[in-house]
Structure 1
C-alpha cells in the first residue's frame, strides 16, 4: 500500500480563520485516501514564535515512515510571507525523504489527486 504524507499549516494558528471548520475539511480529505487504498498521514505545522517548531514538526513527520509521496499544501506555498517556510519544507523533504516524490495540491480537497499523480 502506498504511503503519503500531507504537510500543511495548522489552521487553528491562522488568525481570522475558522480553524475547526478547516481542520474538519482536512480530516475529511485525509479519510478519502483510504477509499483509494492509500495509507496517508497528516502533519499540521504550527506557526508560532519558535523558529525551530516548523522544522521539528516536519522532520519528525518525515522520519515516521518511508513515504512514497509528500504533498505540500497551499497554505505553506501560496502566501508570499511564508516563502522562506516553503523553501525550508521542500529542502527538508529532499533531505529526510529523498526517495519520496513531492506533490502540490491546489486546495485541501484535492490532495488525493495530487498524490495519485506520483503513485
Structure 2
C-alpha cells in the first residue's frame, strides 16, 4: 500500500553564503535515502529566503498532490526566519489543504517526521 507522496521544504545549503554546505548536503542525501528505504516518494523544495522563496514553495506545493509536507529546521529554528516559517505553514494550508504538516529535527530524520503522519 502506497503511503503517499511527501514534499520537504527547507533551506538550500549550497546557496546560503558564509558556511560549508557539505555536511548538510550529505545529511539531506542520507535523509532522502531513508524515504526510499520506506518506499515513500519525496520531493525537495530547497529555497533561499531572499530569492522568491514564496513563489518556489507555491510552485512546488501545486506541482503534485502531497499527503505530507515536512518543514525543515533551517526555516523553523532560526528566529530571523520566523516570518518565512509562518508563510510556509500558511502556504501549505492554502495550496495543499489535505496534506499533513510535519517537522523534522535534522535532515536525517525527515522520513521519520513524515511517517508519523503517513501511517
Structures share a fold, TM > 0.5? yes
CA apart distance, 1:6? 0.5
Paired residues of 2:49 and 2:84 also in contact (CA < 8 A): no
Q: Please give the secondary structure, in 2, of the residue aligned with 1:17.
A: coil
Distance 2:109 2:26 in 1: 15
CA apart distance, 1:32? 1.5
Distance 1:17 1:47 in 2: 16
Q: Please give the secondary structure, in 1, of the residue aligned with 2:22.
A: helix
Paired residues of 1:13 and 1:47 also in contact (CA < 8 A): no
Greater share of helix:
2
Q: Please give the secondary structure, in 1, of the residue aligned with 2:98.
A: coil
Distance 1:97 1:40 in 2: 15
Match of 1:39 in 2: 41
Q: Please give the secondary structure, in 1, of the residue aligned with 2:90.
A: helix
Match of 2:13 in 1: 11
- Using the size of structure 2 for normalisation, the TM-score is 0.91
Which 5+ residue runs of structure 1 have no aligned equivalent? none
Farther off after superposition, 9-18 or 107-116:
9-18
Distance 1:104 1:12 in 2: 21
Q: Please give the secondary structure, in 2, of the residue aligned with 1:110.
A: helix
Which 5+ residue runs of structure 2 have no aligned equivalent? none
Q: Deviations over 1:56-87 (max 9, x none)?
A: 11001101111000000000000110000000
Match of 2:80 in 1: 81
Match of 2:117 in 1: 118
Paired residues of 1:5 and 1:43 also in contact (CA < 8 A): yes
Aligned residues: 116
